[in-house]
Amino acid sequence: MPETQDNKAKSPMLARYRFYLRQRPALLVVLSILAIVFFLAVTGLARSYYDRREFLGNRWSARGFADLKAQNYDAAVTDFRSALLYARDDYSYQLNLAQALIGLNRTGEASAYLLNLWDREPDNGLVNLELARIARQQGRTDQAIRYYHGAVYAAWQRGQENRRRDARLELIDLLLENKDQGDAQSELIALAANANDEPALQKKIGGLFSRAGDYERALAAYRTALKTNQHDAASMAGAGHAAFQLQRYALAQHYLKSAVAADSTDSQSAQLLQTTESVLRMDPFRPQISSVDRTKAVKDAFATAGQRLASCPLPDKGTPGPAGTAPSLNDEWNSLKPRITTAGLSRNPDLADTAMNLVFRIERQTSMVCGMPTGTDLALLLIAKLHEGS
């Protein structure tokens, strides 16, 4: 009974509550409270959701970094793709995925990622460098040069100077490959100006200067490299080569000799040394030469030229001139031959000049007709070049 009475007492109160709760303004208040409660609940849910995603993203990316480091590119691609499921726009994941794809030679896919990254950060050095490499690989030289420039002037996260320098070295290599010597030289000068004396770098610079045809700077770079590492065979060979190109044969001989002594397997330097020594030995105009040696050198040179003429016959036609047709080189050589004797050369010192002049012309003509000579003929040709205009 008491319970029933209690219920009866409560029922009007409940009815009143219900009445108020059914009023629209009250319902709106209830809705607002519910919205706040649900909002807080969803916030908690969202936090847990994002924490889980972050955890998964980190886990996959850690695997990816390890695989990339181990050059396990296939697995790295899968790992970074998985990581990107949880952080679609993560710059580092995308960049590493692109690098893994490059490792697999899937440059098309890689460049799609890299171009996106480039759109987001055009100043990123690594993105520019990778894009440049892909463009170079695909033969798009102009774009490659543009991206290399981007990489040279871009911001790098670590080791900015070294990364910029490496990018510039690649750019120079591309320019040289495309026979753009002028631009390559400009880039090289800028590179050399900022380069330290590290032998490896100087050696590389020297090599690039050599490829660009700037042998003076190449020789300087090799010499800088040799200051720190005096016994580096490659630097000595490079210096010897540069000196040879500069027609500084005595210096070339010095470096090449050292190079061959340091590395006996360097056949190129050995061959160059042989030519250098031939030049030095066969040159009758070299300073401080005795008259006997000079006579011998002229006679040897004349004989060598004769052999060259015999092995590479020139057209039997003289050069037409105002006084009629000039005699052919063969005729000239034949007519001069009886006079080229020790006695004849001693009697007439000018005969040596005449003989050597003919030798030089023969070597030049035959090199044009039959290609570059070797051995003593090459040495004579180089001597001809050395005394051109003198």
Partner 1 sequence: MDLQSNPETEVIVENGGQHAATAWIHEHSPRELWRLAFREDRLFLILSVFIGIFSGMAVVCFRFAIDWSRLYLLGTGAVLAPARMLLAPSLAGLIIAFLVIHFFPTTRGSGVNQTKAALYIFNGNIPIRTAIGKFITSALAIGAGHSLGPEDPSLQIGACLASLLGRKMRLSRDRMRLIAPVGAAAGLAAAFNAPISAVLFVIEEVIGRWSAGILGSVVLSAISSVVVMRWFLGSESLFRIPTVELKNPTELIAYAVLGAVGGLASVVFAAGITTLRPKCKQLPLWTQYLQPAIAGLLIGVIAMLGAPQVMGAGYEYIDQAMHGQFTWQFLAILAGAKIIATLLSFVSGTPGGMFAPTLFIGAMLGASVGGVQHVFFPHLTGSAGTYALVGMGVLFAGFLRAPMTSVFMVLEVSGNYSIIVPVIVANTFAYVISRALQPIAIFDLLTRQDGLELPSMEELREEDVLRVEDAMQPLDGPVLDSEKTLDQALLQLDGTGPEEVLVRMNPSGWNTANKKDLQTLANEGKGGSKLGSLLPIRQVPFLHPDHPLEIALRYVDRWPVVPVVSRADFRQLEGIVSQRAVLERYREFGEG
Query: Which residues would be at the binding site for partner 1 (CB under 8 A)?
Result: 22, 24-25, 27-28, 31-32, 35, 38-39, 42-43, 45-46, 49, 52-53, 56, 59-60, 78, 81-82, 84-85, 88-89, 108-109, 112-113, 116, 119
Nearer to partner 1, 73 or 333 (CB): 73
Q: How far is the CB of 95 from partner 1 (least distance, A)?
A: 15
Question: In terms of C-beta density within 10 A (0-12 exposed, 13-18 middle, 19 or more buried), how is residue 142 classed?
Answer: exposed
Strand bridging mode 320-321 / 324-325: antiparallel
What tokens appear for 360 in the block?
């030089």
Nearer to partner 1, 98 or 195 (CB): 98
Instruction: Quote the CA–CA distance of 237 and 261 in Å, as a whole number.
Output: 10
Which residues are paired to 321 by β-bridges?
Answer: 324
Nearer to partner 1, 93 or 360 (CB): 93
Sorted by sequence, the CB contacts under 8 Å of residue 326 that are 6+ apart come out as 318, 319, 320
Per DSSP (E only), the strands in 159-223 are: none
Nearer to partner 1, 27 or 250 (CB): 27
Q: How far is the CB of 309 from partner 1 (least distance, A)?
A: 57
Q: How far is the CB of 119 from partner 1 (least distance, A)?
A: 7
Residue whose C-alpha is closest to residue 306's, from 244, 366, 390, 386:
366
Q: How far is the CB of 57 from partner 1 (least distance, A)?
A: 10
Nearer to partner 1, 95 or 188 (CB): 95
Nearer to partner 1, 63 or 204 (CB): 63
Phi then psi for residue 325, to 5 deg, are -75, 125
Q: How far is the CB of 86 from partner 1 (least distance, A)?
A: 8
Residue 30 is classified by DSSP as H
Residue 338 is classified by DSSP as G
Q: How far is the CB of 110 from partner 1 (least distance, A)?
A: 10
Sorted by sequence, the CB contacts under 8 Å of residue 372 that are 6+ apart come out as 378, 381
Q: Are 89 and 66 in contact (CB under 8 A)?
A: no
